[in-house]
Structure 1
Amino acid sequence: MSQEKVSQADHIDNTSAAMSTPPADTGSLSAVDDGLEHEGNVVYWKSFPFLGSLLAIMLMANSLFIGYSMPVNVLSVIDADIGPSPNIYLVSMTFTLVSGVMLLIVGRLSDIVGRRYFMIVAQVFSLVGSIISARANTVNVVIAGTVLSAFAGGAQQLYPMLVQELVPNKYRLYGQAAITFSVLPTIGFGTAIARAFVANENMGWRWCYYLNVIVSGLSIVLLALCYFPPTFHMINKELTTMQELRQLDYGGLFLYSAGLVLLLLGFTWGQGTYPWSSAHVIAPIVVGAVLVAVFFLYQIYMPLKQPLMPIKLLKIQTFSAVVIVGCVGQMVYYALNLLWPIIITTFLTTDNIKIGLMSSTTGAGLAVGEIIIAPIFKLLGHPNYQLAAWSVALTVLTALMALVDQNGQTLSLCLTLFGGICVGVVEAVTIVISGLVVPPEDIGASQGFYTSMRAVTGTIALSIYVSVYSARLPVFVNQDVTAAAASSGLPTSSLPQLFTALTNGTTAALDAVPGMNSTILEAVTDGNLLAYHMAFKIVFLSTISFGGIAIIASFFVQDVSKFMNNFVNKTIHRRGEEGQAPRHNEKVVDSEEV
């Protein structure tokens, strides 16, 4: 018996009665009190609570990218305006740390007690955090606002799951495509929008946060009015609130939170804040890794009634495989995220608006990829081959970025766009499959675990890329610039001033170097660009190893067509009504299965 069949048996009723009683209508949904008699129930699917909930989730997803991704793209501008501060990097690091830890916690706890108030409170945090950051006069106040936004981010990053569990299984990829289309303006063009705010004297960087105040506020209103998924009492038919709280996995909560914070902290500090050999980096990574290992042992061997991370999920072969594919595939993509903006400013343009537009190719490509895969995934079948093919394409396209130099604008735009499409497909497929093959009552835990693992592996990837790039660039600059200066006639005695001028980065500083002329300046500029090209090349080629892991893991993904039926995980109800909350003994029967 395949591992998926074991998983399915965990959360559906396999009795002959359940399988022998067909639904009343063709294509009907049969659930314990979901109120949906058949798939064509237009009243429900077009109702204000359902559509309002989808719109609220879409606004929440946009809030994530507006409130974090847009400000992070203009941190240097923020620092120049209300700084300078050596703590400006904490804006990015704080969000990664706090939201990464909150993902599994929010996902799992909302599985147990219901999602409504988790999402509403998260958006309140996002609203307040953005107001604080927008009104900040110091970098430290921006960091304080970011902490609140990061707590919100732990729920906001679960937006794919919120949509998936509201639609029939066979339409989950369409749901993913719809939510991705809704965030296309922010995930695809957020960088350009942020830089447009900066370029507008009447707006500035603060509008990155003001825009999020508006979007978060609208989502709060819609969540409060429309979003009524199953409540605690619908999910927990036998236990009281206090009984459920006593059974929560507080030991796992501590081990997971502490371990993940230390791991993320260590790998983030290793990106340039401290040397890799320093205790500031080694100690958090070692202690964090030990705590995470203890966490998994604790989950396996302790008799927990409500484990934070049900280990049974990791025993599902397809779930574990898609988590590896999604995480490692993202590690390949992070090379583009890190280096593409640097490539643009180094080789292609210094115009602020053009930088924003060109930087959008990866995000726009990702959104396009998630949209185009929806109608063809089930048609093509064989998810293992599909994931392997897209992982190969992503690996090859990213590795080809090693060819890009100052003459490669068209090539680089095409590679980053199509590379983004590939990672979008991989992301959409792995997110949907990871939610399909697990018991319906554990979808929050599965998606929280998957997303938090992506945060960890993404941070590790960035650490590796930053370390390689930072280590090799000075070597190549010294080698290539020195050779170019010597061959063009610059006196050897002027080399120290030349490297100081290159660090300064201004034409006036270079012109002031003794012995400098236009011929030498051109040669030195070409040598400096060659050094950057070589440093970029090594980083991009290093992604091939990660791509290889994703390709291999793809072949362990099994057929999921049997899961793509009319099953609906949760339904939206009106206040006082019963909503569907599938548990172990419930099944939505698809007429094709009977």
Structure 2
Amino acid sequence: MSRNRDIAESESLEIVGDTKQKTSNKDVEQKGAKQEPECKTDLADQTYYLPRRYIIQVFLACASVGMTGLLDETMIAVALPLIASDLNTGSQISAVATAYFITSTACQMLYGRISDIWSRKSVLLSLLFILFIGNLASSLAQTFTQILVFRAIVGIGGGGIGTVGQIIVSDVVSLRQRGKYQGILGSSVALANGVGPIIGGALAGTSSDGWRWIFRLELPLAVLSAAAVIFFMPLKPVEGSILNKLAKVDWIGAALALLGTTTLVLGITWGGSEYPWSSGHVIGTLVAGGVSSILFILWEWKGAALPLMPLHIYKNRVVIGGIATHTLNGFLTVVQVFYLPTFYQTVYGYSAVKSGAMILPIVLVQTAISTLSGIIITLTGRYRELILSGWAIWTIGLGLITTFNANTSLAKQIGYSLIVGLGVGQTFQPSLVAIQGAVERREMAVITSVRMFVRNLGGTIGLAIAGTVVNVMFRSHLKSLNLPADVYEAIIDNPVVARESVDAATLGQIIEGYRRGFRVVFIILVAVSGLALILAALLMVNYSLHRDDDAELKEKAKKLLEEKKAKKKGHDDEQKGANGGL
């Protein structure tokens, strides 16, 4: 007998779709979480287990939306050196990526609960609109400040698209089957990570301001994605007045989350690059972020009627393990996507397109393994073994990448990347299934949102640390070469010009300085991946992915669809009758 059936014999659990939930105070650890008293503010249930043909069209719409958001994020990565050259921003260009991640991370905590209140579809369409406006403005930016502000706006929309898409998939598919569908959805994520840098490099390389076409391309993609959401997502609406929905939002928690995340990330980003770690700017923002975060936790614990982040979910070890490893996953993934192409451009002299293509070995393997992992979870109901082997392989692959030097062959560069992709594909989607299975259904959207929040936070921290390490080490090495002041400043502003402004011997020394900085970054990635492996081994245990009300929910969805069809048929018949009577 499954663990969940044991729970059903001892307790009266929530049947999704009912208006009330009766709970007991007994421990239900088998299901992954303790039952908590009902929230003061009721939420409409949006679970809607659809037949296969509807699932496929919802999945394709989610994949389209997810690709739009991720292409926006990854296309820009390989174009950063070219943007730096066009806008004369130099080493500050990493702030463009950081601006996006600050807003996408700061707002991430809101997406899950707001989609509970307003409905998944309306929130997703709103995010696509913000993405559209931000990219339109970015394509017209004339200064470094403008591009920073506009990319921050894009981050608000782009940051939530993937999160809400994952929540929608979880609404329409049972937990056991979810592994297969989310694995395939993870493949679209991997595909965007792979083709994004190639497309971005090709567009950016067309002219000195070719990078603007990256943002222009996002405009029709956003429109097409919005059309897919409108016409191919037969999701449940959420009833209620706007005022009632506004009253349900945890505004104080949202403000504290935004303030805490923004100031923490700014402090980490500034430290060691813009300002010394001992400066008032860095210390002030870190202290403000720490205090705001503490106040946020206290408010969510004692003050919020409908918390953005219910603290009781952290009583479960799988949730703790999933959140911790997702933070590290974000650190690793974002640094890989942003800094591997830059590494290939500066150290090996590859073009923007070729540098982007060098991510493909990771992506192609990740795509296949992500899909296979989802199928394995559906067949076996187990995820722990996949997660552990994934982290182990990822660590080995990164360790091999640290050996890259000026003489490393292209075959080794590709081969080591294939190993990394094999590990990445086994960690991302299986751990999502794990944490969703560790909480009650009513917390599914929240835990999915929190998972993306910590992943983005990890990515933001990773970008800041990697950028600081590379810049500090490169500047130190460059000073030791005693270059003319104008050449030194030109190379700092845009390292690519070094290939055109110095002799071959000096160029070799400059490249060696960059390679040393990147090697330290890769060593840090190995340590982070190893830590994730240890945490996963200690905390990520297998829970049952069966829930007793799955069959009932499928039947309810079937009946609801039949009722909608009958209603539509009746309406059409009335229209025909009315037209015939004219």
Using structure 2 for the length normalisation, give the TM-score: 0.78
SS in structure 1 at match of 2:172: coil
2:128 to 123, 144, 154: 123
- Residue 154 of structure 1 pairs with residue 159 of structure 2: yes
SS in structure 2 at match of 1:232: coil
- Separation in structure 2 between the aligned mates of residue 63 and residue 433 of structure 1, nearest angstrom: 26
Deviation at 1:138, TM superposition (A): 4.6
- Residue 394 of structure 1 pairs with residue 394 of structure 2: yes
Q: 1:270 to 1:81 in 2, by over 3 A?
A: same
Deviation at 1:262, TM superposition (A): 0.9
- Structure 1 counterpart of 2:99: 94
2:216 to 210, 214, 220: 210
- The percent of aligned pairs where both chains have the same amino acid is 19
- Separation in structure 1 between the aligned mates of residue 209 and residue 474 of structure 2, nearest angstrom: 37
- Structure 1 counterpart of 2:301: 300
Deviation at 1:499, TM superposition (A): 11
Q: 1:313 to 1:91 in 2, by over 3 A?
A: same
- Residue 69 of structure 1 pairs with residue 74 of structure 2: yes
Deviation at 1:562, TM superposition (A): 3.6
- Structure 2 counterpart of 1:547: 529
Deviation at 1:184, TM superposition (A): 4.8
- Residue 173 of structure 1 pairs with residue 188 of structure 2: no
2:201 to 192, 195, 202: 195
Q: Which amino acid aligns with 2:123?
A: F
- Structure 2 counterpart of 1:559: 542
Deviation at 1:404, TM superposition (A): 0.6
Q: Which has the higher helix share?
A: 2
- Separation in structure 2 between the aligned mates of residue 4 and residue 553 of structure 1, nearest angstrom: 29
Deviation at 1:187, TM superposition (A): 2.0
The answer to whether the Cα contact below 8 Å between 2:499 and 2:507 also exists between their aligned partners in 1 is no
- Separation in structure 2 between the aligned mates of residue 84 and residue 531 of structure 1, nearest angstrom: 21
2:53 to 46, 49, 63: 46
- Separation in structure 1 between the aligned mates of residue 401 and residue 90 of structure 2, nearest angstrom: 34
- Separation in structure 2 between the aligned mates of residue 209 and residue 215 of structure 1, nearest angstrom: 10
Deviation at 1:136, TM superposition (A): 4.1
SS in structure 2 at match of 1:425: coil
Q: Which amino acid aligns with 1:106?
A: Y
The answer to whether the Cα contact below 8 Å between 1:172 and 1:432 also exists between their aligned partners in 2 is yes
Q: 1:364 to 1:310 in 2, by over 3 A?
A: same
The answer to whether the Cα contact below 8 Å between 2:334 and 2:459 also exists between their aligned partners in 1 is yes
Deviation at 1:203, TM superposition (A): 9.9
- Separation in structure 2 between the aligned mates of residue 463 and residue 131 of structure 1, nearest angstrom: 27
Q: Which amino acid aligns with 1:178?
A: I
- Separation in structure 1 between the aligned mates of residue 546 and residue 316 of structure 2, nearest angstrom: 14
The answer to whether the Cα contact below 8 Å between 1:190 and 1:360 also exists between their aligned partners in 2 is no
- Residue 224 of structure 1 pairs with residue 206 of structure 2: no
Structure 1's unaligned 5+ residue stretches are: 16-31, 482-494, 512-520, 579-594
Deviation at 1:172, TM superposition (A): 1.2
Q: 1:34 to 1:456 in 2, by over 3 A?
A: closer
Deviation at 1:11, TM superposition (A): 5.5
Q: Which moved more, 1:385-394 or 1:130-139?
A: 130-139
- Residue 55 of structure 1 pairs with residue 60 of structure 2: yes
The answer to whether the Cα contact below 8 Å between 1:166 and 1:571 also exists between their aligned partners in 2 is no
Q: Which amino acid aligns with 1:557?
A: M
Q: 1:422 to 1:499 in 2, by over 3 A?
A: farther
- Separation in structure 2 between the aligned mates of residue 455 and residue 147 of structure 1, nearest angstrom: 14
SS in structure 2 at match of 1:74: helix
Structure with the bigger RCO (C-alpha within 8 Å, sep 6+) is: 1
- Separation in structure 1 between the aligned mates of residue 77 and residue 48 of structure 2, nearest angstrom: 45
Q: 1:243 to 1:9 in 2, by over 3 A?
A: farther
Q: 1:10 to 1:68 in 2, by over 3 A?
A: farther
Using structure 1 for the length normalisation, give the TM-score: 0.77
Q: Which amino acid aligns with 1:541?
A: I
The answer to whether the Cα contact below 8 Å between 1:247 and 1:306 also exists between their aligned partners in 2 is yes
Structure 2's unaligned 5+ residue stretches are: 16-20, 23-44, 492-496, 566-582
Q: Which amino acid aligns with 2:182?
A: Q
Q: 1:11 to 1:407 in 2, by over 3 A?
A: farther
Deviation at 1:458, TM superposition (A): 2.0
Deviation at 1:181, TM superposition (A): 3.3
The answer to whether the Cα contact below 8 Å between 2:362 and 2:421 also exists between their aligned partners in 1 is yes
SS in structure 1 at match of 2:425: helix
- Separation in structure 2 between the aligned mates of residue 33 and residue 360 of structure 1, nearest angstrom: 37
- Structure 1 counterpart of 2:351: 351
- Residue 134 of structure 1 pairs with residue 139 of structure 2: yes
Q: How does 1:365-514 map to 2 (within 5 A)?
A: 365-377=365-377, 383-408=383-408, 409-474=410-475, 495=482, 504=491, 506=498, 509-511=501-503
- Separation in structure 2 between the aligned mates of residue 335 and residue 34 of structure 1, nearest angstrom: 35
Count of matched residue pairs: 525
- Separation in structure 2 between the aligned mates of residue 496 and residue 203 of structure 1, nearest angstrom: 29
Deviations 1:27-63 (A, max 9, x none): xxxxx99887xxxx8xx4324xx54433322221111
Q: 1:200 to 1:104 in 2, by over 3 A?
A: same
Deviations 1:217-238 (A, max 9, x none): 11212222343422323xx8xx
Q: 1:542 to 1:101 in 2, by over 3 A?
A: closer
Q: Which moved more, 1:189-198 or 1:524-533?
A: 524-533
Deviations 1:227-276 (A, max 9, x none): 3422323xx8xxx7645543432222221121111112222223622222
Deviation at 1:306, TM superposition (A): 1.0
- Structure 2 counterpart of 1:259: 260
Deviations 1:147-168 (A, max 9, x none): 4422212321312222232122
